[in-house]
Structure 1
C-alpha cells in the first residue's frame, strides 16, 4: 500500500473517532436522558415505521443485551411500544409513539442546526460530496 494511502487512512480513522466522540456529546445535549445509541435506535424505528430488535442489532452491530437495555429505556420513557408480530407471534415489532416521534423531530432540528453551523463556510458542492462520501462509506 502506498505511504500516502496509509497516511490518509490513518487520518480518516482519527477524524471519524473525533466525529463519534463529538456526536456522543451532542446527543447528551439534545436529551440528557438518552444516549447516542438510544437516539439512533429511535431514529431507525421511526425511519422503518417499526422493526424488530434483531434488525437494530444487525444494523448497528450491537449485542442483544445492549439493544434490550436501550429498547427498555425508550419504552419506559414512552417513546416506543412493543407489538406482537403477526407473522411470528414469538417476536415483537417495535413502533414509535407520538411522543417518540416528537422528541426525535426536535432532536433532528437541533442536529441539523449544529451541522449547518459547522458546515456554514463549506460550498454546496463540498457538502454534497461529503454527504455522498459518508453514504458510500456507510453502505460498505
Structure 2
C-alpha cells in the first residue's frame, strides 16, 4: 500500500513537498524519468528561487508529487550551485535526463519553459540542483 503524504511527512518531518514542471503532463514525464534513474538533476531560475519561502538544502529531502498531486517518490538534495543559462555544460544537461540528453535539446526546452514562466535571457542565473532517489512510493 502506498504511503500517504501525511505518512511521508511523519517519516521525513523536514521534507519539502514539490512537483516538477509547469503542467500536469510535464510533472508526469519528469517524475517518470526520476523513478527510472535517468533524471538526477534539475534547475530553476534564481529569480523563482528568491520568491520561494523555503528552499532545498544539501542533505535535505523533498517529497515529489505527480500530476494528480499524489506522492510518487522522495529525493535527497546532494548539491546546489549557481550558474548561468549560457554556461550549462553538456554534462549538466545530461544529468537532467530529458529528451536526447543533448545540450541543444536542454537549451531549447528550458528556453521554452522559462519563456512560459515569463522570464528568459541567455545570461539568466540558474540554481542547478543534483539529487538522489531515496524512495519510490
Q: Give the TM-score of the pair, scaled to structure 1.
A: 0.31
When Rg is computed on C-alpha atoms for both structures, the one with the higher figure is: 1
More helix by share: 1
Structure possessing the higher relative contact order (Cα contacts under 8 Å, 6 or more residues apart): 2
More strand by share: 2
